[in-house]
Amino acid sequence: MSETHEQVLLEVAIKAARMAGTLLLERSGELAELTITSKSTPTDLVSEADLASEHAIRELLGRLRSEDGFLGEEGGGEPGSSGLDWVVDPLDGTVNYLFGIPQWCVSVAVRDEQGSLAGAIYDPNRQELFTATREGPATLLRTAGTTTLAGSARGDLATAMVTTGFAYDAKVRAAQAHVLTSVLPRVRDIRRFGSAALDLAWTAAGRYDAYFERTVKPWDIAAGQLICERAGLSVIGLPEHEDLPWGILAAPAAISEPLFRLVG
């Protein structure tokens, strides 16, 4: 697939992510968003804002890319006829959004059978747009201009700032806590902010040195994984273990293997 076509797809992803992010920012703080339900566990929440954002993205893609398939966090999947699927997290960081914590985003990616072709992550609170295509660079667009992302150049795990996330299931969280006891003494520090897509984007931007998390879903990582890869980072799958579902790790090559040995 040509870089030109990838750029066309990226422009659609950007349009969808910006549109939904603006909608969410306008709705943030409204009492209507407190109408929430739970999904996998009582702490895994979905709000009216999630549903409204996904509906708006789905309508936009229906107009612009009617032959493509769709996979969204809230509405499930719908096959297409083009061989392309849009993978959407309409509000990554729902709990943060509901608690008024400005650490959430919209993630939109398009993929074929080989993986993601283009992806955009939009953080409306900071007006930051992270993007990548399969053949192009990873970039950060903000009011000051566009920056090409290259991840962290750190080669020492002991000085690495690492970010992670936790599952909603209590049994899995207990297993993750055990993993952290091995990681904490071996790194500079650990952060946990609550949006997998932004964690990946910030790792690509070098704000963190590395990221790992289990229980992530395709919509959490479809755009962020591509952005990290195009920023030159190693992206490794974390295999399933007892009480630990599949996961992902993104880091510079020099520290990816030592970190994998601790968390994999």
Q: Which residues contact 26 (CB under 8 A, 6 or more apart)?
A: none
Pick from 114, 146, 143: nearest CA to 6: 114
Average pLDDT over residues 12-41: 76
pLDDT recorded at residue 46: 59
Average pLDDT over residues 77-105: 94
Average pLDDT over residues 8-14: 98
pLDDT recorded at residue 1: 59
**Is the pLDDT confidence value at 31 over 50?**
no
Q: How confident is the model at residue 28 (pLDDT cuts 50, 70, 90)?
A: confident
Q: Each residue of 231-247: pLDDT tens digit?
A: 999 999 999 998 899 99
Q: Which residues contact 67 (CB under 8 A, 6 or more apart)?
A: 80, 81, 82
Mean model confidence pLDDT for the chain: 92
What the block records as the tokens of 239 is: 């295999």
Average pLDDT over residues 63-86: 92
Q: How confident is the model at residue 19 (pLDDT cuts 50, 70, 90)?
A: very high
pLDDT recorded at residue 2: 64
Do the domains at 3-148 and 157-263 have one common CATH topology?
no
Q: Where are the domains of the chain?
A: 3-148, 157-263
50-64, 71-85, 137-151, 193-207: lowest mean pLDDT where? 71-85
Beta-sheet strand order (sheet of 139-142): 76-78, 69-72, 85-92, 105-112, 115-123, 128-133, 139-142, 145-148
Q: Which fold has domain 3-148?
A: Fructose-1,6-Bisphosphatase; Chain A, domain 1 (3.30.540)
Average pLDDT over residues 48-71: 94
Compute the 3-state secondary structure of the chain and give helix, strand, coil in percent, each to the nearest 5: 40, 30, 30
CATH architecture group of domain 157-263? 3-Layer(aba) Sandwich (3.40)
Is 144:228 a contact under the CB 8 Å cutoff?
A: no
DSSP state of 43: T
pLDDT recorded at residue 73: 81
Average pLDDT over residues 109-129: 98
